[in-house]
Structure 1
Amino acid sequence: MFRTLTTRQRVGDIVGAGLFFLFFALIVLGIGAAQSGWAAACDVLVLAVYSVALAFRRLSPPLALGVAWAGAILQMGALRDVQFGNLAILAVLYAVGCYGNRVVRWLGLASAGLGALLAALYLMVWLPGAQGTGPADLATGAFLFTLFASFAVLALPWMLGMLASARRLSRESKQQQVEAQREAERAEYAVVVEQERNRIARDMHDVVAHSLAVVIAQADGARYAAQGNPELAATSLGTIAATAREALADVRLLLAQLRHSEAEGPQPTIHDLERLIEQLRATGLRVEVSSTGTVVPMSAGHQIAVFRIVQEALTNALRHGDTSRPVGLSLRWADNGVRVTLSNPVRTGAAEPAPGSLGHGIPGMRERALLTGGSFTAGGTGAGRFEVSAWIPSGAAQHQLQQQPEGTP
């Protein structure tokens, strides 16, 4: 029966109703100076009832409608003429149409019809000094005009309230759709990130397994060489330390330990980028590659991150970009890592992806870059191109996992 309103709305309705009562009470008392004290008191009482209905119109439309009916019955029972307080009836009918439920709204329309009939009878027959004197006067044009005019006056605010309610419900529906879309995007993002983490786990499983194999082999060699060849044993121990450090750095890339079962295979490295680019060129994608600086050693996990980001970015350019124009791939090497930048033209007639949008494979690329301790950005450049840029640190690798000292068993 009671709607949920904010404190500001409740206070505003009460203050508005109070000002309504005070303003028109002064007018009523000023006009009633020439009337009897009973008539003025009755007018103020009717105005007070209407003011209460005005205060409750949004909090409880059915209650406000009932109070307004009580005020109208009191007014007609006292045979008082039309007053300023009757304006509150219009506000109540608007609130009934705007905030009431289905039943209350139809009660509001019925109240407008019944109120119009009673108003016409009251003004034309019952009110002292009315033009009509009996039932025969009910068929006159004046009565019918008063009836329809009263209904129009009462039904108009009810209809405006219905229209306002429809607009409000439409806005709420659109807002719910937007929230649902955002929730779906968040869920999709979570799924993509989880899939990419599983893929990273598979990659790192192979890297760590190989590192442990090297450690075991070097440890066995050092154990047998310790007595006869101390220098070889020291070299093996150094290799074990370097390999263990590198494996530890790769393990720190993992955020999820569980992974789905999938066929394993050799993991890509920086040297496989040329083969990847040639494969995409064979599909018709024009790739222009530029590399600056000196290539620095990178841990296996960081090499995989570079390869996967380039692979995903080129695949997106092939699927969603304009393949009639070349794609630019830049590798800028520094002492502590590499900056990978890929810029592809946007297909004619397609809108550039909005900044912060989910995109195609962007969450996975971002996840890989962040797990290496790097950074990632992606978005439209405003010149009809889409750019992906990632910084991948080297991982402080000093030795390649594939290399072993000579003489190692």
Structure 2
Amino acid sequence: MLRTLRPGQLAVDIALPSVLFILTFVLYATRPQQYVIVLLGMCAALAVRRLAPGISLAIAWVTALVQMLLLLAPDPANFAIPVVLYAAATYGGKVARWISFASAFLGAALIVVYVIVVPSWTTGVNAEINSFGLATDMTPVAKVTVGLFMFLAFAAFFGLAWTAGVLMRTWRRARESRQAQLLAERDVAVEQERNRIARDMHDVVAHSLAVVIAQADGARYALAADPDSADQALRTISSISREALADVRVLLGQLRFQQSEGPQPVLADLDRLYEQLRGAGVDVVVENHGAERPVATGSQLAVYRIIQEALTNALRHGDHRAPIDVHLDWTGPELQVWIVNRAKSEPPKPGTGHGLAGMNERATLAGGRFGTTLVDGLFTVYASIPFTTAGVTR
């Protein structure tokens, strides 16, 4: 199977065999023309070693066998063989990789036979191989000893090239895995940021629209009987709408550009939130138990958004004739928050709407707990957020 190469890799694969051909071809001016076949074959194997490692290995084998059949002596072009073994181990598939491994040992054995045994059989037939061959008058024991040494030496040489290819393959795979991991982590971070922006968008829009709707209804009923109240309601609608529009613009800017986050609400902004609800005609009663303690910025945002969403749900689903009670308990190991209102209709069950699910997620991300209850018509939102000292904003 052909691999896809980058332009730089393709240029190197063409240049390397070209250089080998130019440098080696000069040596063949005084040698038999059959050596050109060996040179061309090895150059072809080098040229396709990364494009098609299996084919490159096959070309190298065919060229080496032809060289042996022609009884040609080992040649400088044969140095292409370890390069082909390296490429097959690095870029080849499973079959090509293990065939190249076996080729390292089989090739070493054939070299021993070709250099030690063949010259004694072809004395006077081919001067090239006879001149390269070891002395034919060696004793059998000497031939076995030298042959074993040569086999180990060539097997180690070829095996080293193959091992280097496997190590390079492993390093490439590890680098690709690391890059894939970084991409996956980046995608997760982007998705988490989008989810955070979606939660903020929901909180801002849902709360603002709930207040606007309540004020609009009040203004419509009071328009004839109390024009001043209607005018005040319209002013509140205008103010809430401008604030919501500014918050939405910040969130949309975060979606369009990679920039730092806009200012996020903290506990000090809760008073303004209460006043917005009171301006909509809802009685919000706030009670703090114990002295206030430092809370990390992220935890403050979680508490603010939970209270904001709970008040919004109370405004939408609660009985406006009854007050909404907000309790903050600072005395325990965690900041505990209760928002209690009387429901005029069945509120959404946990998990069925974005509001309750978003509050639960915010509490969980802050390391806390979240829950809701409906008992005797009183709907209670409960959250417990740990106190942390890192990144405190007061």
TM-score > 0.5 by shorter chain = yes
Partner of 1:158: 162
- Within-5 A mapping of 1:325-364: none
- Within-5 A mapping of 1:368-383: none
What SS does the corresponding residue of 2:50 show, helix, strand or coil?
coil
Task: Summarize deviations over 1:257-299 as a string: whole Å, max 9, x none.
Answer: xxxxxxxxxx9433869x99966845xx347xxxxxxxxxxxx
Partner of 1:58: 50
Aligned residues: 275
Shift of 1:103: 1.2
What SS does the corresponding residue of 1:3 show, helix, strand or coil?
coil
Partner of 2:38: 46
Partner of 1:23: 23
Shift of 1:387: 7.0
CA distance in 2, matches of 1:96, 1:5: 15
Cα distance change on mapping 1:272 and 1:218 into 2, 3 Å: closer
1:308 is aligned, of 296, 299, 304, to: 304
Partner of 1:82: 74
Cα distance change on mapping 1:24 and 1:125 into 2, 3 Å: same
CA distance in 1, matches of 2:301, 2:143: 90
What SS does the corresponding residue of 1:108 show, helix, strand or coil?
helix
Shift of 1:190: 2.3
1:246 is aligned, of 239, 242, 245, to: 239
1:112 equivalent to 2:104? Answer yes
Checking the alignment, whether the CA contact within 8 Å between 1:270 and 1:306 is kept in structure 2 is: no
CA distance in 1, matches of 2:87, 2:302: 62
Shift of 1:135: 11
Shift of 1:99: 1.0
CA distance in 2, matches of 1:115, 1:306: 70
1:181 equivalent to 2:174? Answer no
Checking the alignment, whether the CA contact within 8 Å between 1:219 and 1:237 is kept in structure 2 is: yes
1:73 equivalent to 2:65? Answer yes
Partner of 2:88: 96
Moved runs in structure 1, 4+ residues, more than 4 A? 132-139, 235-241, 253-256, 275-282, 304-307, 309-312
Shift of 1:8: 1.8
Partner of 1:270: 272
Shift of 1:157: 0.3
Task: Summarize deviations over 1:310-345 as a string: whole Å, max 9, x none.
Answer: 999xxxxxxxxxx9xxxxxxxxxxxxxxxxxxxxxx
Partner of 1:200: 204
What SS does the corresponding residue of 1:69 show, helix, strand or coil?
helix
Question: What amino acid does structure 2 have at the position aligned with 1:122?
Answer: Y
Cα distance change on mapping 1:110 and 1:245 into 2, 3 Å: same
What SS does the corresponding residue of 1:59 show, helix, strand or coil?
coil
1:13 equivalent to 2:6? Answer no
CA distance in 2, matches of 1:305, 1:92: 62
Provide the TM-score with structure 2 as the length reference. Answer: 0.59
CA distance in 2, matches of 1:280, 1:88: 82
CA distance in 2, matches of 1:212, 1:109: 81
Partner of 1:295: none
Q: Which region of structure 1 is more displaced relative to structure 2, 64-73 or 181-190? A: 181-190
CA distance in 1, matches of 2:5, 2:174: 20
Cα distance change on mapping 1:142 and 1:271 into 2, 3 Å: closer
Shift of 1:203: 1.7
Shift of 1:386: 3.6
Checking the alignment, whether the CA contact within 8 Å between 1:269 and 1:307 is kept in structure 2 is: no
**Structure having greater relative contact order (Cα 8 Å, sep ≥ 6):** 1
Shift of 1:159: 0.8
Task: Summarize deviations over 1:232-252 as a string: whole Å, max 9, x none.
Answer: x5x567546534533543563
Shift of 1:4: 1.4
Partner of 2:175: 171
Question: What amino acid does structure 1 have at the position aligned with 2:15?
Answer: V
Checking the alignment, whether the CA contact within 8 Å between 2:38 and 2:77 is kept in structure 1 is: yes
1:219 equivalent to 2:211? Answer no
CA distance in 1, matches of 2:288, 2:111: 88
Checking the alignment, whether the CA contact within 8 Å between 1:98 and 1:165 is kept in structure 2 is: yes
Cα distance change on mapping 1:204 and 1:76 into 2, 3 Å: same
Question: What amino acid does structure 1 have at the position aligned with 2:197?
Answer: V
1:128 equivalent to 2:130? Answer yes
Provide the TM-score with structure 1 as the length reference. Answer: 0.57
What SS does the corresponding residue of 1:81 show, helix, strand or coil?
coil
Structure 2 unpaired stretches of 5+: 119-128, 252-268, 276-284, 309-332, 334-364, 367-388
Question: What amino acid does structure 1 have at the position aligned with 2:95?
Answer: V
CA distance in 1, matches of 2:97, 2:390: 55
CA distance in 2, matches of 1:236, 1:75: 105
CA distance in 1, matches of 2:101, 2:302: 69
